[in-house]
Structure 1
Amino acid sequence: MRSLKILVLTLVGLLALTSCQAAVEPVPAITSAAPQVTVEPEPEPVYVAAPLTGVEYLEGENLYLAMPAVSAKIDNTYSGRPQLALNDADIVYVTRVEVGLTRLLPVWHSRMPEAIGPVRSVRPVDASIVDPFHGVFAFSGGQAPFKTAAKATGLVISDEDTEMKNETYYRESTRKAPWNLYFSAQKLQELYAAEQPVPQAGFEFDAIPSAVSQGVSAKGLSVKYPQLKSVWDLGTAKFAWAEPLQTAWLRTQDGTPHTQFGGDQVAAKNVVVMEVVHDLSFVDPKYGAIPKAKLVNNEGIAHVFSDGYYLKGSWSKGESEDPIVLATESGEVLKLAIGNTWVEMMDVPKSVLKISLTEAVTE
């Protein structure tokens, strides 16, 4: 009987335990949902093209693009060479002066050297060249009507007298006067940054310039001025805005490589030879006729050399403040290679252009 009683009690306990277990609801596992993360797409980089070269820079990378241009009248005689920072200039104009010589009128904007020189006096054509670029125009004296024309452009006119208090000009002790006048370009640019706008674009640029797409292969050119010969030969050069060596035109003057201070040969992505009639009516008692290229409200033939190719076109200019415009013979915009440009203003008929093509062109 005792055994039977124990068995009954055991069965009752098991039934009670089973009943309790059946009454307990299963507790679901607690899980935490992953937070929703919104990934913002990376903004597309914005590039800004330098107006005088077409070289593109990441927005905000080149602070000079928001600053005014600086132009200067630079000596180009044997005594004035080597000049400073010619390869930093966006555009360099070769202009005729008295007794068959030339002077240079570079325009610096996308790159601004610390110093520039040697600075020489203003000439009659200069005002109509620098007018579209705004900014600062530096020179050292000159005839009264030439200085008056320069002031009429509205640019900041800068010379030793106007900058006396700013201490931006100095005389280089290793050079003899008058080829020893230099100025601090970056300081000059900063002084007048609030007064002048950035330069307006004149020439247009393309990765495939018009001379390459429409012209013929060339290996060099020369311009024989009455008392000077400028030669450009096809080669390669390291430009400040590009890492690898690039196709370039290398300048020789009077049989000697034209080098800037530091030893680098003058190099250009584009060479434009403009055929320009010159006015010889202004006669200096000592030096004779002082030529003035007739640019304003005028036009003529342009010979354009880019990336090893040559294309004949035309140039035109409206009022003094209007830029020089290049066009193909069919009237389309003539685009240059991206990079710096030298403009040889050949006075016709006194100067002669010779072009060396890679292969003879048959009509």
Structure 2
Amino acid sequence: MGQRAPRRRGARRAALLAATMTASLAVGCTAHHGRPADDGRGESHSPTQSPSSGGTITAAGPVLAVKIDNVPEARPQTGLDAADIVYAEQVEGGLSRLMAVFATKLPKSVGPVRSARVSDLELLRQFDEPTLAFSGAQHKLLPLIAKAPLRSASPEQVSGAYYRGVKKSAPHNLYLRPDKLLSAAPGPAALTTGFRYGAAPAGGKPTASRTVRYPAARFTFSWSGDKHRWLVTEDGTPTVTTAGKRLAPATVVVQYVRIRKSRYHDVLGNNTPETVTVGSGKADVLRDGRTYSVDWKRQKATDGTEFTTSDGTPVNFAKGQVWVVFAKA
């Protein structure tokens, strides 16, 4: 995929903004960031590669990013198997929260949806005017979300896109209908992440299972030769969707980053960790039953993340869903 082309903020941005406004008005979107439904606890790009085919395609519309509740009470979740990328970050109390990114297809429903975090704003800068679906945020963070180069789509702004499920109790029962926000999936070119897809690099260490621990959560990825995928287990329980489908990404990235205290706190006074995704560091890429120790680099927020071997050779991911778990360096 190589370097991304300079941003052209003229006609392209105007067209995207017009499309966004039209879609927003169609479902009752307003410019008001009302009170959070959740207590908070919790430009053009160069062509890119398709995660499904590996081919080069032309840039399309914006991705849909959805904040997903990931405490045990929220599971099983809905729609995660349709995501192109699932990011896992640490939040208050050492728990985890997910951000699912959709580009190649849109499920009928996604959720449970929960609140945004300050780390999301930096992470989402790599995309061109993404739509962020979330259930609210800490009050001091809402003005930053309003100023960010994204389309904010909370229940207060787009009420017709959300509904409450009946099988879980609040706040773990808020779901999104993606087709109320996007008329169609934007396509793989919207995934301006810097990820490359193709043949595996040389070397690697045979790996049957890998566990990543947060203070109050853990992820385990077990290789299945039959499925040729990594089976996801969270907090000791196999991770499935509400339809009973086991979550099984083709590639897992354990990315070691700075996790620092932010100026935000939840209603109980717990500090909100801030995950820093601009910079450089080490990562482990899991694919095809092997682990590759690599370097990562993201020079500025509008860049994707490059993963390379020690000699600077780009590292390809396997075709299919990618999980990125941010771990403390």
TM range (shorter): 0.7 to 0.9
Distance 2:185 2:102 in 1: 14
Q: Percent identity?
A: 29
Q: Is the 8 A contact 1:52 1:202 kept in 2?
A: no
Residues of 1 paired with 2:54 and 2:260: CA distance? 38
Q: 1:304 to 1:56 in 2, by over 3 A?
A: closer
After TM superposition, the score normalised by the length of structure 2 is 0.78
For 1:338 and 1:93, how far apart are their aligned partners in 2? 17
- The alignment status of 1:178 with 2:171, answered yes or no, reads yes
Distance 1:304 1:83 in 2: 25
Higher relative contact order (CA 8 A, sep 6+): 2
1: CA distance, partners of 2:294 / 2:309: 4
User: What is the CA-CA distance between 1:100 and the residue it aligns to?
Assistant: 0.5
CA displacement 1:185-243 (0-9 Å, x = unmatched): 123111897xxx9342420110x222xx231221110011101111010015xxxxxxx
Question: Which residue matches 1:38?
Answer: none
Structure 2 Cα separation of the partners of residues 146 and 76 of structure 1: 21
- 1:233-286: per-residue Cα shift (whole Å, max 9, x none)? 0015xxxxxxxx641000111111011111111101000001111111425262
CA–CA distance in structure 2, aligned partners of residues 330 and 144 of structure 1: 45
Amino acid at match of 2:214: Y
Which structure has the larger Rg over C-alpha atoms?
Answer: 1
Matched letter for residue 182 of structure 1:
Y
Stretches (4+) displaced over 4 A: 49-52, 56-60
Q: What SS does structure 2 have at the residue aligned with 1:268?
A: coil
Change (3 A) 1:333 1:151: farther
Give the residue type in structure 2 aligned to 1:98: E
| Paired AA for residue 204 in structure 1 | R
1:19 corresponds to which residue? none
Q: Tell me the TM-score normalized by structure 1.
A: 0.71
Map residues 44-83 of structure 1 onto 2, 5 A cutoff. Answer: 51=49, 53-55=51-53, 66-83=60-77
SS in structure 2 opposite 1:151?
A: helix
Structure 2 residue 208 is the aligned partner of structure 1 residue 219: yes
Runs of at least 5 residues in structure 1 that lack an aligned partner in the other structure: 1-48, 237-244, 349-363
Equivalent positions of 1:2-151 (< 5 A) are 51=49, 53-55=51-53, 66-134=60-128, 135-151=130-146
For the 8 Å contact 1:119–1:182, the answer to whether it is kept is yes
Residues 272 and 199 of structure 1, relative CA distance in 2, 3 Å threshold: closer
Amino acid at match of 2:178: A
| CA offset digits 1:303-345 (Å, max 9, x no partner) | 1101111110111212222212211122221111111100010
Measured in 2, the distance between the counterparts of 1:59 and 1:93 equals 24
- In 1, Cα distance between equivalents of 2:185 and 2:51: 22
Q: What is the aligned residue count?
A: 279
Conserved in 2, the CA contact under 8 Å of 1:98 and 1:287? no
Q: Is the 8 A contact 1:153 1:321 kept in 2?
A: no
CA distance in 1, matches of 2:86, 2:50: 11
SS at match of 2:293: strand
Separation in 2, partners of 1:289, 1:126:
16
Task: Report the residue type matching 1:150 in the other structure.
Answer: I
